[in-house]
Each structure stands twice: as structure tokens, then as C-alpha cells.
Amino acid sequence: MPEVKVPELAESITEGTIAEWLKQVGDSVDKGEAIVELETDKVNVEVVSEEAGVLQELLADEGDTVEVGQAIAVVGEGSGNNTSESSTKQEDTKATDNSNKEQQSSESSESSESSESTGSKSEASSQDNGQRVNATPSARKYAREKGIDLSEVSPSSNDVVRKSHVDQSQKQSNTQQSQPAAKEETKKPAQQNPSKPVIREKMSRRKKTAAKKLLEVSNNTAMLTTFNEIDMTNVMDLRKRKKEQFIKDHDGTKLGFMSFFTKAAVAALKKYPEVNAEIDGDDMITKQYYDIGVAVSTEDGLLVPFVRDCDKKNFAEIEDEIGNLAKKARDKKLGLDDMVNGSFTITNGGIFGSMMSTPIINGSQAAILGMHSIITRPIAIDADTIENRPMMYIALSYDHRIIDGKEAVGFLKTIKELIENPEDLLLES
């Protein structure tokens, strides 16, 4: 029968995690229809069936790690309509009938009958109680093979028994039988020193990958951060004056701060090309393109999709693209192409109220720009004048192996000058 295999995802991605089965055993499947959602290091990907038919078997559970090319499901011929429940119940009924026949033929050998029909008895008992254990198909099959009563297996979450829970239940049962004294000794300290309430759960693949990469960046780069501050008065006044006209001219697109900082970053990258570079072994690769990553916060954590060719886009096109990418990120619709091969990243902690931070470089890039909250503060205009001005701290974290302090300071100074004089920024664009 045709197998559904994990497809090629991206050059740097070799495995993923089963996030959710969109189809179950017995369901009809059309050619090209998505049957499972796969969580990768960067985005979620839907895997489709290359054949039409009925989903016959799931070869991996939700939460399992699978590799590119690995078979994860089997699709057979026919048409189905969610028959997994009925097929399983038929197996349960058949097992129950067999058990009853054995009891009728030899009532005196009750213990022998129990050992011969352990797998059938476990599911039959759940039917007798009017309840059926909620378990994955592979867990049911595995439990029958091991002679485990599914009703005695405790799931860790979502009340769904998985294969790993069956294994854990068997290990606990073996430990209880062979080492009862050791179990009592283990319990005793817990009773004497009860722990504080906690919630333990596995990290998502994306969070684990992000944690790993951030640690790698910290360990493998000479990362420093330099700061500057920007008087936002002029750019805020410009936005206020042009806001309504900009919306009319560009079909409802709003003029935000991100387009100003993106265009300013492009101008600064052209002036200081080392900031748009990366190290590859003994080589330094200076990028001649300007694909700017914009950090987006989602329920699953921070994602950084890239706005391509920012040097060729105007303010409205950049704002549109940022809005589209942010929506795709929140709707879990980002593709791998949206997440790879960027040259520079901007992160805006100011939307969460951050006044100052030291952002961590994104992947193999050489630097990252951090924006922060706009705070009204008293600023000395000259020796005799102090005014309240809307001020923003900006930060540049950079890899000191290829960017010197002089270039880093000059880069931030360029950003500051262009934002404080937005007319100059328009000319630069």
C-alpha cells in the first residue's frame, strides 16, 4: 500500500515533530489532501497524501519526532467515512466473545483464561463499563501485544493514551512487582518533604530549536551591544501630517514606524557593509541584498520572517509586506521561504513596553537592531533650553569578529540622523 512519507523541507531541516493528525484511521483521503501537520524548527508544514483512498494506519503518534523520508502513514484503496471507531469496536467485541467462549469451556481454570486473553480483556472491560479508553491506534495495538490493560494506563496530558504511556505503565508495573521495598523508600522522602506546585511539560520543537540557536550564538560569537537615542519628534510629526493622505493613496495601508526604521537600516547597511555580512568558516560573506527580518511575536514564540529586497520597495510596500507576514505568522501560515536567507534583523521590544535591551543576533547574521518604547523625557536643546521630547533608545548587538566598534557606532549614528530628519530618509530611498 502507498506510504505517506515526510517530504523534503529545507536544506537545513532534517526532521520535525508530529503536531496534529488532521485525518484518522478509516478517514477518506483525496490526492493532495493534508493529513498531518508537522512542526519544524521554523514553521508548521502540512504533509499531503500523494494517493486517494482510505487512511489505513498511522505509523507515528502526535509528539513523535520523524525524519525526512520516513513513512508516517499508510493509505489504502477504497472509500472511508471515519470508520476507525467501528473497526476498533469490532475487534473489542470479537475479543470479548473469544474470552466468553473460553470461560464457558473451562470455568475452573479462571487464572489460565485470564493470562491467555489479557489483551482482549483490557478493552472488553472498558466496553462493559460503557466507556472506551481514549488512545491512539498504535497505543492500542502495542498494548494488546504487551498484554497491558489500557484502563490502567495514565496519560500525561489531554487524556489520550500514547505508546510511550503504555511503556511507562509496564515499567512501573515491573518495578512494583520486583522492588516493592524500593518503591516505599522512594515515596517516603516525598511525603516528608512535599514539593511546591509545578507544571512540567515538554518544550515545543520550535522553542527547543530557538533555545539551542540562541545559546550557539552566545557561545560562538564575540557579541557586543552599543546604544544610542533618537528624538522621535520630527518623524512623529511627519506621520501625523501625512497619515490620512497615505492611507488614501495606498488603499488603507497605515504608515508605521517600522518602514522608517527599515529604510534607515538599508541606508546604514549600504554605508557600513560589514554589518550586512556573516562569517562562513575562514571567509567573510558580504551580502549585496537587503532582506530585512522583522521579529513577530506569536503564541508559539518569536518568529522572524523576512521582507525581501527592501532597497527596492517604497514605504507602503514595506508596510504591506510586514503586515502580511505578521498575519501569516499569527495564523501559522508562514512558509519556509519566508524564514530563511535574511541579511539583517530588526526587533521592536517597545511594543511590549521595553525601555532598553540587548537583543541577540539572529542566526548567522552579523548584527541586529533593537527598537524600544518611546518615552517623553526632558532633553537639553541647547545651553539655555530644555524641552520634553519623545525619545527612543536603540541598540545594535553585533559580532565583534567582523564589525569594529567604530562601524557599530557609525551605523547607529546613521540610523539616528535619518530618523530625526525623515526628509533626508526619503531622499536616501
Helix, strand or coil, per DSSP, at residue 46: strand
Catalytic residue among 149, 338, 400, 424: 400
The x, y and z cell numbers of residue 178, run together, are 520486583
DSSP-assigned states of every residue in 181-196: HHHHHHHHHHHHSPPP
The x, y and z cell numbers of residue 287, run together, are 551580502
Q: CA gyration radius for the chain?
A: 30
Whose CA is closest to 390, among 234, 239, 261, 232? 232
- Asked if 404 is an active-site residue, the reply is yes
Q: What share of the chain is helix, strand, coil (3-state, %, to 5)?
A: 45, 25, 35
Catalytic residue among 30, 97, 159, 404: 404
The CA-based dihedral angle spanning residues 186, 192, 195, 197, taken in that order and rounded to the nearest 10 degrees:
110
- Asked if 320 is an active-site residue, the reply is no
Whose CA is closest to 56, among 86, 40, 80? 80
Helix, strand or coil, per DSSP, at residue 150: helix
Distance CA 97, CA 124 (A): 9
Distance CA 4, CA 34 (A): 11
DSSP-assigned states of every residue in 323-352: HHHHHHHHTT---GGGTSS-SEEEEEGGGG
The x, y and z cell numbers of residue 288, run together, are 549585496
> Which amino acid is it at 411?
F
Distance CA 404, CA 414 (A): 16
> Catalytic site residues?
400, 404
